[in-house]
Structures are given as structure tokens and as C-alpha cells.
Chain A
Amino acid sequence: MTITIAGKNPYVNSIINAFSTYGIESTVVNQPEGLKKLPPDSPVLLLENSVLDPFLTDDSYSDKIVSRFPPLEPIVFIADRVNETPDYIYRVLLSKAVKLAVVKRNIIIFGKSIRGAKPGVEKLYSTARNLGVTFIKYDHIEITGNNDLHTINASEGTMEVSVTSPLIIDTSLKEDTTLGSYAKALQIRISGSNKWFIPNAHTSRKNVFFLNTDTLMSERLDDVILKIAYEIHGLSNGTGVFARVNAQKCAFCYTCFRACPHFALTPDKNAAAMFVSETLCDGCGICSSVCPANAIEMVGTSDLTYDTGKLLMLCCENSGKVAADLLDLNEHIHIKSVSCGGALKPESIISALGKYEHILVVVCAEDACRHFDGNHRARLQTERARKAVEKLNINPARIGFVQISPSSPGILKDAVSELLNTGRSVI
């Protein structure tokens, strides 16, 4: 078993050693072209190199800087300044804030939103709060002053705050452009406002892993390598649910190839049909829903069939289904689960409308789809279905749409009540 390591990073030798203890050999690639020649399901690790202010990632460096200032001087962190700070960097920021607050430093964090309830962040957030870290929300921010003393003027609506501090840490990510070209060579998908990776250790391709040694936080390098090694060994096992192309029906139109978020479909030129790598397929069903020839079936799932009732919730199994299961629903409200919102076709929604008074499509929150754009696709397909039924003089508001997190059954409950009580769609 071999993994290809791409990108420069000071820890590359430690990473190679760690992989070898798990029976995985490493080859290092220094040019994006080297990745293009690899078989599509060959494991690759992309390494990102120092993109954050070292104050956030290097404790000895930050300690040295902090020791120059008297304890009561505020240390200011600014998030969301250029773009929204991704959650994983926000975690790094919070973790650094906590470390400094523990040693009685006065910490202020400016951000355009407070992520107190975000999964993976909430614990750090409450710890920081308890240690006296101040969070300030802003719409506009202006920084003036010189290298010795900065003045931060922030405002939100009519509220204005002014803080002076000798030390400001910006959490903006400095783009590692080299890495971008590696990602492009591998056709890694970009996710919403984030970049093309899910930090430590997934990307849109099941066989391509990503590691930023800057943002490892409490996860030790060895632990992450172990996790990746485990996944590499399990790659050939697949997920149990995977797409299968009927080569006879396939129009070889490349629609699935273009839509697949996991790069699991490759053209089989001999068969003049697409071929699914079961290793890379994540079972989302997006290919099957977009295929204009109906040539892709999802092995391990069954077709949607409908009973009759008052309301049918068509739920993404990762969000809507989890939240819906937490609700106390009456017998007229039914739930059907799909592997991803992106697996829904307008036809599924329209057919269901023949059996139920109302349909509610329930998918993941913005930027939370593990298949990248399944939630967005579900929204578009829902809109298509609504427009079509309206032409038949059927009230399109019978079809609702809501995006939620799996831990927000309350929002789902409200959406259900609104749809049932007012007939207005929740969108």
C-alpha cells in the first residue's frame, strides 16, 4: 500500500515514518503533474504549509511576543475580517485564546458572528467565556494606529466599540497557492464559502486526504496519520451504498461525471459508458438523481415508495432524518430518508404530492452538506417541482423546504407547524 504525499511541509519526514508504522509506504510528489498520472483511487495526502499567523499555531513564538506586554494590556484577535473565518481556524483561535486566558491574559475576540453553538466549537467557546474572554460582534471594523498601539473601532448597527491594544492578531488565511494547484490537478471540489478541503483529514475525494499541521490543535500528528491510515486500509471496503451504471442505458453524456462531488465516476471509453469506482463512491445518490437517462441505480438502497397522509418529510439522512427522529410526530406525518438532499429528483417530490397534502424537503444547513452541494441541489429541484405543479393549478406552497442542522429539531418543528397551519412554504 502506497500513499502519495504532495506539498511542502516541515513535518514530512515524521509523516512518512508514521505511515510506515502502519504498513503504508510513501512517495513524495513535488509537482501537480505528478498527481495527474496516478490511478483515480490511489491514496494521496495533501500537505498545507503554514498559512496562519504563527502566533496562532506556534506556542513558543506567541509566548515570546506576549511576554513583552504587561498582563492587563488586551490582546485582540480579529475574525471574519476579509472573509468569514472557517470553523476550523476559529477553533484554533479559540484554543489559543483559552491558553492565554488561563495565564490571566486579557483577551478580546472580534467577529462578525459568534459561533457559540457550532458543533466542535461550543465547548471551547464556553471555556473561553468562563475564563473571561470577551467576544465582540461587528459589522464594520476599522484599525488605526502604529506598530506599538492600535485602535480598533468596531460597530454593529448603532452600537460602537473602541479598543486600544498593542497586539492584534488577524486570523485571515494566507493562501497556499502551490497547494491549490495540487488540488486542481486532483479535481477536488470547492465547498461553499470554504476552501476545497475539510480540515484534517477529508476532501471531496475519499482517497485524497488533507493535512494542515498548523491547525492540528489538540489532535496529535500521529493520531491524524493513524486516522488516515485506517481509512486507506478501509478504502476498498466501500460504504455499502454505491452507484452502479447500467452501461446499456448510459448516454455517456458526462452529466454524472460533472456532478459527482467525490470524483467517483470515470469514463470507460471501451464501453462508451461511465464507470463507478465503488472505492471512491460515497453513496450520496447525486449522480443517480441528475442522470438524464435514468441509467444509475444506488445499490444498497430501495426506491422511494409512498403511503398516504397529511405531511411527508423527505429528509436527508445526515440532518433532517436525525432531527425528525427527535420529534414526537402524529401518525399522519411520515418521514422518508434519502442519502443526501441531492439525491432527490423533482419527480420524487411531485409523485409524493399525489399521496400527501404537504411535502417538506429537509436537508442540511448551508455549508454543512457532506456531499458539498446536495443541499443546494435539493433547493433547486424543490423549486423546479413547485414551478411545475403551479402550472397544474396546484398550490406550490404545499411543498416546503427547510435547511437545518441535525441538532435543531425545534427549527424543524416550527417549519412543520408553519407548513401545516398556514399552507405557506418554509423556504
Chain B
Amino acid sequence: MIVADQKPLEEIVLSLKHYKKILVVACGTCVTVCMSGGEKEANEMASLLSLSGDFDVRVVTALRQCDNEFLNALDSDIAWADAVLSMGCGAGVQFMAEHFIGSPIVPALNTKFIGVNRDLGYWTEMCQGCGDCVLEMTGGVCPVARCSKSHFNGPCGGSSTGKCEIDGSIDCAWQLIYDRLKALDQLERLYETIPPRDWRTSRDGGPRTVIRPDMRLDGGTNE
């Protein structure tokens, strides 16, 4: 899931300083589960904004801010508000901005990564959406997202006792890859060289699109 974190409150208040009536829009999917932008957090945000004394605040929840149908349901509340504080991820904020042309949409979160929930209140990054998955070769541990330097053919010299030189709390991805391949009895795979990547599948190719032609009655153009 997409994992996000709340922006510092003072930054949010500053972004809203020119507005009075604020609609706080929670998002019911990823950011609910990662406890940054669901209805509970939106209510907490609303109580803080109200307490500051500068705002009139309403709260609504869109099940997903990244789907048109859920945004359509917000029309009347949007019309009331001077500005919208989106508790969604970066995709939600932008989609709302696209959808509600006349309304300022202010982000309440910093979107961090695609990750997993390891325990109550604890998420870690697992994927960078590079667009060309190599997990089959690396024992199910991603060298792109989990190696600080995204190395493809073994660790750098900064790997020490299984930890990364960037931060001692980070596991060395290549140590994890080694351990995992060993457990799978596939250590010989470490001799396979992963060739240089074509990073155009990732960010280097510009903003990306996914199209399912079989679902597109126009035959697969992205218009």
C-alpha cells in the first residue's frame, strides 16, 4: 500500500492561512490503513484547526480520492468550502485538484513510499514502482527499493554486519538477498549478473501510464 505521514501542523496551518472555511477530506483506503489520513486522523486534524480559532471546519471521507465516482459525492461540501485539505496521498490531492477546478486543494500529508505494515504503527518501504521487477532473481528482496544505492549485483563496501552504511538501522538489502537465497538453496544465483537496466520503465521515462486495452472500448488509446 501507499504509506504517508502527516505534514507538520504549522506547515498545514500556513498553507490554509488565506482561507476560512476548510473541508478536510479523509481518504478511506491506503492512508486510512497507514493511520495518516483516514477518518480518525481527519477528525483529529479538524479538532486542531478548530482549536486554532482561525477556521470553520467540516470533515468528509472519500472512500478513494483516486477514483472519480467517490469524488462526485463531495460536490456540495466542496461548494461550501474556501479550501480543501486533502488527507489523501499525492495522487489523491492531484486528482481532487483536477476534479474540482475552482477549489484550492491543500495537501495534509507527505507521501512516502509503497510499503508494508510490519506491526501496529510500523511501516517499511518495499517497492519504488520501477516498472521492471527483478524480485524473481533476488530471492524476493528488492535491490532497487531496499538497497540505499539500488545496487544490482551485490553489496557495496559499506555493508557491515548486515547493516547499511547510510543508516545503521537499515538492513543491507544484499545481506537479506544472500540470506534468502541461502534459505532457498539458490546461492548459485548470485553468480548470475543482472545486466544494466533500462530505467525508462521507471521515472526516467517520464510520467507513466497503464492501459488495459481489453477494457478500453476506444481500442486502447489513452484519451
Contacts and interface: CB of A to CB of B under 8 A. Distances in A.
A213 B212 CA distance: 67
B48 A388 contact: yes
Interface string B48-84: 1011100000000000000000000000000000000
Nearest to A248: B63
Interface stretch (B6-14, B99-107, B132-140): B6-14
Contact of A350 (B28, B41, B48): B48
A293 B32 contact: yes
Nearest to A349: B47
B29 interface: yes
B20 interface: no
Contacts of B8: 391
Interface in A383-407: 388-389, 391-392, 394
A354 interface: yes
A292 B9 contact: no
A350 B51 contact: yes
Contacts of B47: 347, 350-351, 354
A294 B115 CA distance: 23
Contact-residue bracket for chain A: 20 to 34
B7 to A, nearest CB: 11
Given A258-B119, A293-B32, A389 B51 contact: yes
A293 B51 contact: no
A392 B13 contact: yes
Given A292-B38, A347-B40, A259 B32 contact: no
A353 interface: yes
A253 B33 contact: yes
Which has the most chain A C-beta neighbours within 10 Å: B13, B33, B50? Answer: B33
B51 A353 contact: yes
Nearest to B39: A294
Contacts of B120: 255, 258-259, 290
Interface string B20-40: 000000001100110100111
A251 B38 contact: yes
A323 interface: no
Contact of B32 (A251, A353, A354): A251
A255 B35 contact: yes
Given A346-B44, A392-B52, 19 more contacts: A251-B28, A255-B33, A255-B35, A290-B120, A292-B32, A293-B32, A293-B38, A294-B40, A294-B43, A347-B40, A351-B47, A351-B50, A354-B47, A354-B51, A388-B44, A389-B48, A391-B8, A392-B13, A392-B51
26 contacts: A249-B28, A251-B29, A290-B120, A292-B33, A292-B38, A293-B32, A293-B38, A293-B39, A293-B40, A346-B44, A347-B40, A347-B43, A347-B47, A350-B44, A350-B47, A350-B51, A351-B47, A354-B50, A388-B48, A389-B51, A391-B8, A391-B9, A391-B10, A392-B10, A392-B48, A392-B51
